[in-house]
Structure 1
């Protein structure tokens, strides 16, 4: 993601540390169940990445702490992870909506779900109502539609120059539908970036 200059100079820790609600990596890492290690002198503490973000540009990092490492759990063969970014331009643009889906589906039933979004709230965050609509349910159209409807309980997005609140919510729902279609037809490749 980002421009050539940022890819050559930027860091994953920096993308997390600036606490932007539209950073590309935090929703993906949250959906993957990542943790961060914060260090201050000889003191270290580990917390789930989703707990690092408290409010708009406010984090759990204490004075003089820095992000020492990011821990991403090893993926299993049962996980179905996808990430999508909706932006105005193909390259070098900030997301209007960024979505990450990480489901474990066994015998046609969703056993576990981690769904996270950027651009939908003051912080990157999980869609807990959406996840609840998925877990324990059959992986089919009606379950996906219930989970899409539940996104309105998870988020009340704002309108800005990148996208309206209505567009953001519709995009979030459509990205979940896209994820469902891709898992049903894995031979179909779709573009990650869409245009507003």
Structure 2
């Protein structure tokens, strides 16, 4: 069943479109694919980026917080970059473009998820202490995409590159994967120092 992609806040989309129309933003040295792309650059497949706060054994329901909205930027048939937006005191604003393996990995994971039975709302869930990003398939496709925590029956699909010992592009139930992440985090209490401001690997 097709995924039900949630609509992004209109100001977030407008900020991404404005950045794509800005020669200065598109010509950033970090985004050679955007500089060399021929034809239109289209932001699509908006995904809310949630951060998994530190979890500990016996804590119960994990806590998450919304960090921003990410758009895959398509040129032709494939995504070549992503546009990140963030919430500021003045509302949603463009943050940065980036390229790299998580762009391709996200696109692949979304295609794989469309073949799964049932209906899900796609989100991104970042575990910054493990430098890990997952496609979070929320079981309630009509939920407010900016809120909520992973339900035990939700699915998490680690994106490549995944941490050692965790299979990328394999769907795991939250109830199965969360204990593994909890043990990983508990094994190294110094993890998480100096994590990225947005809380999500790029």
Alignment TM-score, normalising by the size of structure 1: 0.31
Alignment TM-score, normalising by the size of structure 2: 0.30
